Structure 1
Amino acid sequence: MVMENWLKEVAGDSRGKAVGGSMELGMTRGVVVTMDPQNDNKNSIMISRSRSQEVKFKPLRNGQTARLVLALVMSTLVMMVAVSRLTLLVVPWSSSSPTEQPLQSVLSNHLNPSVLKQTTVASTGDDTVKNHLSSSTELKLIPKLPVTTRPAQLAESSSSIDKACMSRSQQQMYRDSAHQFPRSVLLDHALEKYTEMHSQCALLLDDGNDTSVQVKKGCQYVVYLEGYEGLGNRLLSLVSAFAYAMVTHRALVIDARRGHLAQLLCEPFHNSSWLLPPQFVDAVWGASTLEDAMRWNFQNVTSVRINLRHKQTEADQTFFCPATQKGVRNITWIWWESNQYYVPRLFMIPDFWSLLSSWFPDPSLVFTQLTRFLCLPQNHIWAQIKRIRAAYLASSMIQVGLQVRRHANADNATLVPLVHELIMNCSLKHHVLPKLVLPVMPQRKEQQLALGNQPVAEMSVGSSSSSSWTTTQSVAVLVTSLHIQYYEKLRNLYVEHGTEDGTVVSVHMVSHEGVENESYEQAVKALTEIWLLSFSNKLETTSWSTFGYVAQGLGGLQPIILNFFTIDAQHETRPACFLGQSSDPCLHYPFVKPSKCAGVKMSRQHSKWITTHIRPCQDEVNGLQLCSGGNKYSE
């Protein structure tokens, strides 16, 4: 309520037999060879083309000549048909990038969802390609690959592919056109200028001195200190540090002496590294806390360590106040330690808002566009992502992502039947999964409490006539969870029961670690799963999950949020599931208090922007979330 009150204050079909080829594509012209019924000469033939024009040949002198001519005609027609079919197969794909992507992958990824509903033939496995090429109707459904609207200086081409980071140029090929989200011209320009600055401020060690680092005059830095929480928290805080570095013209570097991000992600900036030299000593920290720097009035302070974790002191909470930002403006080194997504707070600072709002016309896409630039998996991880997708997900017409995490339970890998039932009810209610044909089961009292008195059997079979599953199609579901039984329960459910419309559902899982740890191997699996979830057409995430936040943000997806607190918490009043108001992550701990930033002068335009685009999070009443500014979500 403190947050909401403060925001209010700020507001103020061919006949005959075709010669030389089949009619498989439905595009071959009707060329037919028959005998002339009005001529008794057996050597007289008639060629009919397209059922409209007939060319009669006079009687030939002998059978040998007739056979020779007939052979020549048939050979010519065979070559014509072959060339025609080759053109049909090659031309639509001649502009695609030279990748390993199979044909069925292209078909499944670039078909518009509205067109998918009109498709009448669906299959899985090896028959997919054949069925998609079996009629002229389906051939017309093959769309053009999405055309980038990025400026020429940043557009990817075959000559500018970064072989050291293949995901940079290939990632867009795996997203449907509705989730491309090209960057604005101003953001592209800002990223280009920032990359140039980063190259000019590259950190180099002095010759003969293993601990002295050359710092060019005028260069300033944000040093990202990787935390010890899960990968989701690390990526959220890394993107926040990058956004701050952009608006303050500081070069972002990572202290790779702890954590795995340097081993997981590509170098994002051309001609310079974002890695802090390993010989760099901690003595450069200077002020160990923001409170110390403030006590010294920021005089003779060359570095300061900033604590932006979920637990902060009174002084730490003033970091995003304009007065504090003015104080740290001349400090060379800012050491950024955080586990939160602080981009919403950056938009509250007047000097930063003018830049950020011009770069991001739709603020709900801040994390999407920055992450697709900054957090790209290295080649060995990217190859694994592509292999998994091609083997298990790409052949299906629709991909659904399901992320399950229970925060209020000490053992969040434990399978709870009510959690599975909540997942199924929410998935069917919001048309994330196709309806099942299930028998009506008696309802238990605890189910009524957990699911808002909604009969489980009724929700399972579904009662709404507005379901988006109107045609037979195939669906691949990717489940990410610490526990394998959530995957097994969902897989068995769709194996044992049919769907109302005949939709074929396959369920897959990459890993089931049981418990979360800090190993590099688990981090690789987590990053792989995040990227695979981001390629989904429909996504369900768990409330309060930073892992889910990164997946939805990277994909630019507004998820269905599963609220397991309705089971785990006694006084939970929010619904069991709801549609997310934005794809941007939630900032759980904004620490917004009017008394901390007293005397802030904000224009009426800025105040109106805040009340339009920054709202309390749906899964954390005291949190903040960037939204597009459309109609507010109502439950």
Structure 2
Amino acid sequence: MNTMDTKQPFESYVGEKPYYQRSILQTTYDQSIKISGDVFRALGLKIKILITIIFGGLLISSVIFLSFSNIFNNELLIATNNEEFETPGDKLIGGLLTADFDERSCVSRYHQSLLYRKPSPYKPSEYLVSKLRSYEKLHKRCGPGTDSYREATKNLGHGGEKSVGECRYIVWVAVYGLGNRILTLASVFLYALLTERVVLVDQSKDISDLFCEPFPGTSWLLPLDFPLTKQIDGYNMGYSRCYGTMLNNHAISANSTPPHLYLHILHDSRDEDKMFFCAKDQAMIDKVPWLIVKANVYFVPSLWFNPALQAELTKMFPQKEASFHLLGRYLFHPTNQVWGIVTNYYNAHLARADERLGLQIRIFSDQPGYLQHVMDQVLSCTQREKLLPQVATKEGPKANVSETPKLKAVLVTSLYPEYSDRLKKMFSERPSSTGEIIEVYQPSGERYQQTDKKLHDQKALAEMYLLSLTDKIVTSARSTFGYVAHSLGGLKPWLLYQPKDATAPDPPCVRSTSMEPCHLTPPSHGCDAEWGTDSGKVVPFVRHFFCALGVKMKLEITTVTCLVLCSVMLLSFFIIFNRQLLDATVIIDSKDSGEPDDKLLQGLLTADFDNDSCLSRYQSSSLYRKASPYKPSQYLVSRLRSYEMLHKRCGPGTYAYKRATEKLVHEENLSTSVGECRYIVWVAVSGLGNRMLTLTSVFLYALLTERIILIDQRRDISDLFCEPFPGTSWLLPLDFPLTDQLDSFNREDSRCYGTMLKNHAINSTMAESIPSYLCLYLLHDYEDHDKMFFCETDQNLIRQVPWLVFNTNLYFIPSLWLIPSFQTELNKLFPQKETVFHHLSRSSSHYTSRNPKLKAVLVTSLYREYSENLRSMYWEGPSSTGDMVQVYQPSQEMYQQTDNKLHDQKALAEIYLLSLTDNLVTSDSSTFGYVAQGLGGLKPWILHKPKNHTAPDPPCVRAMSMEPCFLRAPLYGCQAKTVKNNPFVMYCEDRVTGLKLVDSADEF
């Protein structure tokens, strides 16, 4: 998928020479090699002297570096022997992000950087970090909902020219495809940062479905009641408040400041519109309170044309080409829904690969044969640049099977599935010449762009981020989709030249010198330069590239000679340093670790578990940088051990549990003691945070009242947490008598304690008729009668009930301290009152070591639609079980080609692949399926044939036998007896007149 708008505003001008024919560097090189041999020989003596000086300098430098390496090595040993743990992953990206957000509200914000295989080499400058913090404060003071914003919009509505104080605004309007939108939003934000304006984002499109809020404690969304909302979509070059139009009409001056201006920075902008980038014009624009921007080009490079902004930009971005990389990682954080798509697909398809290659293919023509020209170009580029291997020839040497083959994952993003299909076919028919295993994936191929369709845009954004996670990337020229992906990933891409004259270009691609996006339609000259002056020469680090009149930023490289000299001088240092580093790591590995970590948390945990069954139980404490200063009381430790013994005596599978459930089934009213085994059933409601808090609350109540806590396991609790009590289980058995009623217990239920109090159906004098169970409704909407649970007299009554069912989404531990009979016990358990949840959660909540189950689905069919629909289903949302589902289809040839050698070879390969599966579903009467199930020893599920254009119900049946079916069998035996007289011959499930062998008909 590629979301650049289908309009083509960025075609190269006719007759323009491509970059590789007009490079200034190439011209300079050609001139330099014309020095004659005579002149060179005449310089011989000078060169000898120069060489002597250089090598003398190298010798001295090596000695200096040697001494430095010894000093550095000593410091390294001191540092590595330090007892402090290594700093965890830098989730704030060197201070780029603020820590003022809740992680759960936007998982990608702090976890995004963890998916990249290598940390970004581009670090934000301290000045950029300080500017971002200052901006966040400004946005909080002036953003939506503030007095400043209300005052500013009031002035805008009245059309006045009054000053709005420190709060000036820039409104970004979403136009064109998603790639354009991301690039222009970053450009507008940088402009806002430079000019101390507040950026507000038009939310009429789906921006809030794609990205989280980037600024803490405020919003970047333009309120829907903004005075100009209904007019914005109609703004264009002809609008009277368009800056370029006002310049043309001489309708603006420093003496007359309009309340708002429209800035037209699109591909068709005029020279007058581009005067926006000039210092003189900025001085005038700076006074305007409101700017409305429509843009579909990344215009950051052209901001450097303004001398007033250059010094600020240089301090913010010492590494010029990191501008979008840093801004993008600060500003754009996919919503949890989008990030779920990214992580699910990444973990399923890309995570295990040794190397990942991204291919982003954008089509700019629908001419016949164009698709094949681009395919040829992609192969030519990737194989010429050694990004993909050739396929092996029949006579080629065999790969060394003794070595584990390298796995390379190729991620293709395009609107057209043909590109990935052809790559898959190429590497499935023959192995690669290098022995590498090439796996090709394409998350979607929707054929046409659907901008502003929520799911389409979410998948497009997910694909951009997946591309950014690759190790190397090839993108189409002038594709904003590709610009976003390679810049977010900090990757310098290979750019595919655009095919011309219906042929693949030669060379097919060029390696970009910068990861920065290109400003595709920049000003054609500097602000004060003569018309026709090359804008790429106005600023030394802004250059023209082959993207057709575009400019982008690149880091200045002084000379190759300097790099060579530095490399030689550092060589001796690095050799010595590497040896010392190895010594240091050996010392670290062999270093006595001292006393072992307190894996039992001062006795909070028992040592009666197997370490490997739940790694987090004994290892989670080692992840905390500092040991907890809160120590459990000895009394709490002893009570936990006593509880574990009680749970073992009364838990599931014991005689006591069996007896207690029998009494529950018979609805016995108890006038006598129920023995030592009384129970609490905890039912999971609301979100995970609520569940953990309420589970801890209920466990403490169980500890105080000597009840056994049992957990409703129909939710995913066993997928999240390990068993906390040794030798038993806290999971409520699925055959518990009240299981079917648990979800229906509510405030109005006749067994709800509050309802019974209200109806006078229970009171403290009813000791002779205690109910067998009670429902305790402690949710956020509970009423006063429900809250009587926390009263002493009510506790005396509740204590006699054998079974309590808790329905709660509240952390109710503080109110347990209001019950006098609990206070003494609680004080002994928790001398430090604020440690209750801290200790209890560490004693009982241990997350599982279980990795998500990976399920591979192999589809064999002549048609690709089946696998595409399955892929799309599991790509758009995770499975309900948490399993990662990968869907593969080796081929899809649309029609059968029997006796075609290659077709038959692939068909046979697919039969054997099907036979290697664990479970199999086949079409009815399919001989292809019969062979696969027979080879694999599998009893398949057979799909019933659809009738009357409707899906049958039931849709399938499990085969009685793995034997194939005799589809056209005789209806009777030789003696005119039906086949039913033979116990080993049965009618087939998929053909009523067919016969198959079974071991025994009795079981069917």
Residues 1:145 and 1:496: Cα distance change in structure 2 (over 3 Å): farther
Give the corresponding residue for 1:583.
515
Asked if the contact 2:469–2:489 (Cα under 8 Å) also holds between the matched residues in 1, the reply is yes
Give the corresponding residue for 1:272.
218
* Distance of 1:348 and 1:152 partners within structure 2: 28
Residues 1:154 and 1:178: Cα distance change in structure 2 (over 3 Å): closer
Q: Which amino acid in 2 is paired with 1:417?
A: Q
Matched, 1:391 2:348: yes
* Distance of 1:346 and 1:210 partners within structure 2: 30
Q: 1:627 pairs with 544, 554, 574, which one?
A: 554
* Distance of 2:537 and 2:525 partners within structure 1: 19
Q: 1:253 pairs with 200, 210, 234, which one?
A: 200
* CA distances 1:182-217 after superposition (whole Å, capped 9, x unpaired): 31211111111111111111122889x999559963
What RMSD, in angstroms, separates the aligned Cα atoms of the two structures? Answer: 3.7
Q: 1:476 pairs with 409, 418, 425, which one?
A: 409
Name the SS for the 1:416 alignment partner. Answer: helix
Asked if the contact 1:580–1:618 (Cα under 8 Å) also holds between the matched residues in 2, the reply is no
Matched, 1:369 2:326: yes
Matched, 1:556 2:490: yes
Q: 1:67-216 residue pairs with structure 2 within 5 A?
A: 147=90, 154=97, 161-177=102-118, 179=120, 181-204=122-145
* Distance of 1:153 and 1:565 partners within structure 2: 40
Q: TM-score, normalised by structure 2?
A: 0.42
Name the SS for the 1:179 alignment partner. Answer: coil
Name the SS for the 2:301 alignment partner. Answer: helix
* Distance of 1:211 and 1:186 partners within structure 2: 29
* Distance of 1:607 and 1:560 partners within structure 2: 22
* Distance of 1:147 and 1:585 partners within structure 2: 26
- For these two proteins, the number of residue pairs brought into alignment is 456
Q: Which amino acid in 2 is paired with 1:428?
A: Q
Structure of greater Rg: 2
* Distance of 1:401 and 1:607 partners within structure 2: 30
Q: 2:246 pairs with 256, 278, 292, which one?
A: 292
Asked if the contact 1:539–1:560 (Cα under 8 Å) also holds between the matched residues in 2, the reply is yes
Name the SS for the 1:315 alignment partner. Answer: helix
Unaligned runs of 5+ in 1: 9-93, 97-143, 441-460, 463-469, 601-605
Asked if the contact 2:96–2:124 (Cα under 8 Å) also holds between the matched residues in 1, the reply is no
Give the corresponding residue for 2:427.
494
Residues 1:235 and 1:198: Cα distance change in structure 2 (over 3 Å): same
Give the corresponding residue for 2:629.
none
Residues 1:498 and 1:151: Cα distance change in structure 2 (over 3 Å): closer
Residues 1:568 and 1:555: Cα distance change in structure 2 (over 3 Å): farther
Residues 1:437 and 1:178: Cα distance change in structure 2 (over 3 Å): farther
Q: 1:424 pairs with 365, 369, 379, which one?
A: 379
Name the SS for the 1:319 alignment partner. Answer: helix
Please state how far the C-alpha of 1:609 moved relative to its aligned partner.
Answer: 9.0
Identity rate, percent:
27
Q: TM-score, normalised by structure 1?
A: 0.65
* Distance of 1:632 and 1:479 partners within structure 2: 37
Give the corresponding residue for 1:527.
461
Residues 1:405 and 1:599: Cα distance change in structure 2 (over 3 Å): closer
* CA distances 1:61-85 after superposition (whole Å, capped 9, x unpaired): xxxxxxxxxxxxxxxxxxxxxxxxx
Name the SS for the 1:163 alignment partner. Answer: helix
Q: Which amino acid in 1 is paired with 2:366?
A: A
Asked if the contact 2:302–2:523 (Cα under 8 Å) also holds between the matched residues in 1, the reply is no
Please state how far the C-alpha of 1:567 moved relative to its aligned partner.
Answer: 5.7
Residues 1:150 and 1:475: Cα distance change in structure 2 (over 3 Å): closer
Give the corresponding residue for 2:279.
322
Name the SS for the 1:495 alignment partner. Answer: helix
* CA distances 1:376-406 after superposition (whole Å, capped 9, x unpaired): 2111111111001001111112111011112
* Distance of 2:559 and 2:495 partners within structure 1: 16
* Distance of 1:357 and 1:545 partners within structure 2: 27
Name the SS for the 2:199 alignment partner. Answer: strand
Q: 1:585-624 residue pairs with structure 2 within 5 A?
A: 585-594=517-526, 597=528, 610-611=539-540, 613-620=541-548, 622-624=549-551
Name the SS for the 2:447 alignment partner. Answer: coil
Q: Which amino acid in 1 is paired with 2:206?
A: H
Please state how far the C-alpha of 1:592 moved relative to its aligned partner.
Answer: 2.6
Q: Which amino acid in 1 is paired with 2:348?
A: A
Q: 1:437 pairs with 387, 392, 412, which one?
A: 392
* Distance of 2:477 and 2:191 partners within structure 1: 26
Asked if the contact 2:91–2:113 (Cα under 8 Å) also holds between the matched residues in 1, the reply is no
* Distance of 2:413 and 2:93 partners within structure 1: 33
Please state how far the C-alpha of 1:231 moved relative to its aligned partner.
Answer: 0.9
Q: Which amino acid in 2 is paired with 1:431?
A: K
Unaligned runs of 5+ in 2: 1-15, 26-83, 157-163, 233-238, 398-402, 561-1004
Residues 1:225 and 1:155: Cα distance change in structure 2 (over 3 Å): closer
* CA distances 1:350-392 after superposition (whole Å, capped 9, x unpaired): 1111111111111111111101111221111111110010011
* Distance of 1:344 and 1:211 partners within structure 2: 31
Please state how far the C-alpha of 1:473 moved relative to its aligned partner.
Answer: 1.3
* Distance of 2:416 and 2:342 partners within structure 1: 21
Asked if the contact 2:192–2:198 (Cα under 8 Å) also holds between the matched residues in 1, the reply is yes
Residues 1:239 and 1:223: Cα distance change in structure 2 (over 3 Å): same
* Distance of 1:347 and 1:280 partners within structure 2: 32
Please state how far the C-alpha of 1:436 moved relative to its aligned partner.
Answer: 2.2
Asked if the contact 1:318–1:597 (Cα under 8 Å) also holds between the matched residues in 2, the reply is no
Asked if the contact 2:356–2:409 (Cα under 8 Å) also holds between the matched residues in 1, the reply is yes
* Distance of 1:149 and 1:358 partners within structure 2: 20
Q: 1:381 pairs with 312, 315, 338, which one?
A: 338
* Distance of 1:335 and 1:183 partners within structure 2: 29
Q: 1:536 pairs with 453, 464, 470, which one?
A: 470
Residues 1:210 and 1:309: Cα distance change in structure 2 (over 3 Å): same
Residues 1:153 and 1:538: Cα distance change in structure 2 (over 3 Å): closer
Q: Which amino acid in 1 is paired with 2:216?
A: H
Q: Which amino acid in 1 is paired with 2:350?
A: L
Residues 1:163 and 1:95: Cα distance change in structure 2 (over 3 Å): farther
Q: Tell me which moved more, 552-561 or 517-526.
A: 517-526
Please state how far the C-alpha of 1:181 moved relative to its aligned partner.
Answer: 2.6
Asked if the contact 2:91–2:110 (Cα under 8 Å) also holds between the matched residues in 1, the reply is no
* Distance of 2:387 and 2:328 partners within structure 1: 26
Please state how far the C-alpha of 1:618 moved relative to its aligned partner.
Answer: 2.5
Residues 1:333 and 1:95: Cα distance change in structure 2 (over 3 Å): farther
The structure showing larger relative contact order (alpha-carbon pairs under 8 Å, at least 6 residues apart) is 1
* CA distances 1:10-62 after superposition (whole Å, capped 9, x unpaired): xxxxxxxxxxxxxxxxxxxxxxxxxxxxxxxxxxxxxxxxxxxxxxxxxxxxx
Please state how far the C-alpha of 1:314 moved relative to its aligned partner.
Answer: 3.6
Asked if the contact 2:359–2:411 (Cα under 8 Å) also holds between the matched residues in 1, the reply is yes
* CA distances 1:390-436 after superposition (whole Å, capped 9, x unpaired): 011111121110111121x1369x87333222211211111212332
Q: Which amino acid in 2 is paired with 1:480?
A: T
* CA distances 1:458-483 after superposition (whole Å, capped 9, x unpaired): xxx99xxxxxxx98311111111111
Asked if the contact 1:342–1:590 (Cα under 8 Å) also holds between the matched residues in 2, the reply is yes
Name the SS for the 1:587 alignment partner. Answer: coil
Asked if the contact 1:368–1:554 (Cα under 8 Å) also holds between the matched residues in 2, the reply is yes
* Distance of 1:240 and 1:598 partners within structure 2: 24
Q: Which amino acid in 1 is paired with 2:340?
A: A
Asked if the contact 1:566–1:575 (Cα under 8 Å) also holds between the matched residues in 2, the reply is no
Q: Which amino acid in 2 is paired with 1:615?
A: R
Asked if the contact 1:344–1:626 (Cα under 8 Å) also holds between the matched residues in 2, the reply is yes
